[in-house]
Amino acid sequence: MNVHVRADAALPRHDWTPAEVEALFELPFAELVFRAAEVHRRWFDPAEVQLSQLLSVKTGGCAENCGYCSQSASFKTGVAATKLMDAETVVSAAAEAKAGGAQRFCMGAAWRDLKDRDLPKVAAMISGVKALGLETCATLGMLTAGQAQALKAAGLDYYNHNLDTGPDYYSTVVTTRTYQDRLDTLAHVREAGLSTCCGGIVGMGETRRDRAGLLHSLATLPAHPDSLPINDLMPVPGTPLAGSDPVDGLEFVRTIAVARLVCPKSVVRLSAGREHMSRELQALAFLAGANSIFIGAQLLTTSNPDKNTDAALLADLGMRPMTMN
């Protein structure tokens, strides 16, 4: 397929059409990855990778019914609900993460939305982690404009709020909140001056058109995500999507490459799912434009490669931690 390439192809744009994004997916694999690698080199050092670590500061009991999630109260997954951690415990974990090489510390709470009563405790966590010299990120569900501003004042750098999938497939994945709800929270985050972390999940039974729909939605936001995580579904027994057919590895790499092309300045994170990816698949993803990973052996309630495994992979690929501003 002959896809017209604009002379300014490496420059961010917000006028992508769904057809253009779908056409990128249809390119011959080698051509698609080559184009993505070229764009990657326009904005980033391809030998650098941003390192984040994630901690579940409040696990389980979530009122949402996201079909992929082990923490939903709607499903029997064996994940027990816990109370919100105290700030001292979180800051201690962040210090360990920094000692292990993390550059950004992400705090996740299994909530439908942030309650004002929990805001002071969350703010204390953020301030404590920020004082360690780490970048701070949080994912706490939906936010009001005022809550976003309060998190910014506490020292939060990034807020994660994924779109999960394309708009046409969204209602198959979750029905307890709308796509517009997610877009509204992202708007509050941007307006507060926070950086956005926003991506989605593949392997939930969606089609290529749905994956293109997700990336089209991200590429046409008023500002592209500063961090763009692409998660490969980690099937959790007891969730509705546990039996979904996995996405082919080459299709996963195509998704990474298209993400790089339509959001050229975003840090594209090879996120959940690396535990079941081969070294070669991860290397292809880096070649196609991924330049961030989660480190640490645990991602909320699912596993992640251990420190030594990641260190060996990055050393073999000649990659190093990203130089932070």
Q: Which of 104, 177, 182, 269 is catalytic?
A: 269
Q: What are phi and psi of 29, to 5 degrees?
A: -55, -50
In sequence order, which residues have a C-beta less than 8 Å from that of residue 21 and are 6 or more positions away?
212, 213, 215, 216, 219, 258, 262
Q: What are phi and psi of 160, to 5 degrees?
A: -95, 130
The dihedral formed by the CA atoms of 252, 299, 122 and 154, expressed in degrees to the nearest 10: -50
263 catalytic residue (yes or no): no
Q: Which of 62, 104, 254, 274 is catalytic?
A: 62
Pair 255, 211: CB distance under 8 Å: yes
Q: Which of 66, 104, 177, 274 is catalytic?
A: 66
198 catalytic residue (yes or no): no
Q: Which of 35, 104, 106, 263 is catalytic?
A: 106
Q: Which of 104, 137, 211, 263 is catalytic?
A: 137
Chain centroid offset of residue 125 CA: 21
Q: Which of 69, 177, 182, 274 is catalytic?
A: 69
Q: Which of 197, 211, 254, 274 is catalytic?
A: 197
Residue 257, Cβ density class (10 Å: 0-12 exposed, 13-18 middle, ≥19 buried)? buried
Q: Which residues are catalytic?
A: 62, 66, 69, 106, 137, 197, 269
